[in-house]
Amino acid sequence: MYTGKTENFELFEFGRRLYVKLLGNEPCLSYDHFTPEGKKRPEMPAKTDNSIDENLLTMVYKMIHPNKMERTRYFPN
């Protein structure tokens, strides 16, 4: 099914939703072309809950990293 969105956008949006689900808050207040705007930027989540795997937190952060060049762009097969 074609959604009209790019893989980069879909990966970023999936990461944003995971961040909210895991940590209970938005990583950033607003976005422009899936780039964070304003003073609040996504930060590496602190491991506040021992039930959340640290590798999962790192992966989610890489999906929404504020610097596009350091952001995960795809998952290889």
Beta-ladder partners of 30: 37
Does some domain include residue 51? Answer: yes
> Residues 50, 65, 31, 38: what is their CA dihedral angle, to the nearest 10 degrees?
90
3-state DSSP assignment of residue 59: helix
Does some domain include residue 3? Answer: no
C-alpha–C-alpha distance, residues 69 and 30, integer Å: 19
Domain extent, residue 30, equals 12-66
Does some domain include residue 6? Answer: no
| 3-58 residue pLDDT tens | 556 888 888 889 989 989 988 888 887 777 667 666 677 777 766 667 788 889 88
Predicted structure pTM score: 0.75
Residue 48 φ/ψ region, left for φ over 0, alpha for ψ in the -120 to 50 degree band, beta for the rest = alpha
Domain count, the chain: 1
Does some domain include residue 75? Answer: no
Does some domain include residue 58? Answer: yes
